[in-house]
Chain A
Amino acid sequence: AQSVTQLGSHVSVSEGALVLLRCNYSSSVPPYLFWYVQYPNQGLQLLLKYTSAATLVKGINGFEAEFKKSETSFHLTKPSAHMSDAAEYFCAVNLNTGNQFYFGTGTSLTVIP
């Protein structure tokens, strides 16, 4: 069963526009949720994480995500895109079943000048 779904494998936004990357999860237990960013030829870097505290989570580089239990979503947003935001973004969930992580298929963000 797919635990994490990222809608849109490719997203393009203009510089200065809102960034919205979608992530939905499936879980019967309270999940821990994560967003990672991968720049070309680099490893994955944690952007932010939700661990059952505040539902609105702020991360690095101006990104934030909101945990919505009713919608089983954890969408990533940034008010104003910058050229340096162009990268691959991965949503992940930890269901605490043996500390296993499940990753989405990734969303490639392109920022148009």
Chain B
Amino acid sequence: DSGVTQTPKHLITATGQRVTLRCSPRSGDLSVYWYQQSLDQGLQFLIQYYNGEERAKGNILERFSAQQFPDLHSELNLSSLELGDSALYFCASSVARGELFFGEGSRLTVL
């Protein structure tokens, strides 16, 4: 158990819909990262937050947004979903220059 909790574990929805993925980092970790993993794209960095502030952006689409709340949990919002958004979405947390601890992921299927 990494200490990082992600919900839901599985999600099936239709094209055009909007979903929210939730992540609770390890206790004490201020940094939260979101990654997307698909068969054709591999592990793609989406966005990083540190103590509520956006720290870095990767290959995150404009249809996607995220935020980190004062209690440090984070949410990734995916809207106007397309078939190609079907993937595993991972959240990870860390302390400064420490390793990343990954959650088990949220598997999104867009039909």
Partner of A92, one of B4, B90, B100: B100
Instruction: Please report the total number of B residues contacting A with Cβ < 8 Å.
Output: 23
Q: Which of B42, B96, B99, B101 gathers most chain A CB within 10 Å?
A: B99
Is B34 an interface residue, CB under 8 A from the partner?
no
Decide if A100 touches B99 in the complex (CB within 8 Å): no
**Nearest chain A residue, comparing its CB with the CB of B37:** A38
**Nearest chain B residue, comparing its CB with the CB of A52:** B97
**Nearest chain B residue, comparing its CB with the CB of A90:** B43
Chain A interface extent, by class: 20 to 34
Is A67 an interface residue, CB under 8 A from the partner?
no
Q: Which residues of B contact A49 (CB under 8 A)?
A: 99
Decide if A42 touches B56 in the complex (CB within 8 Å): no
**Nearest chain A residue, comparing its CB with the CB of B105:** A43
Q: State in angstroms the CA–CA spacing of A94 and B92 once bound together.
A: 14
Decide if A99 touches B103 in the complex (CB within 8 Å): no
B residues touching A (Cβ–Cβ < 8 Å)?
Answer: 2, 4, 31, 33, 42-43, 45, 48, 50, 55-56, 90, 92, 94, 96-97, 99-105
A residues touching B (Cβ–Cβ < 8 Å)?
Answer: 32, 34, 36, 42-46, 49, 51, 90, 92, 94, 96, 98-103, 105-106
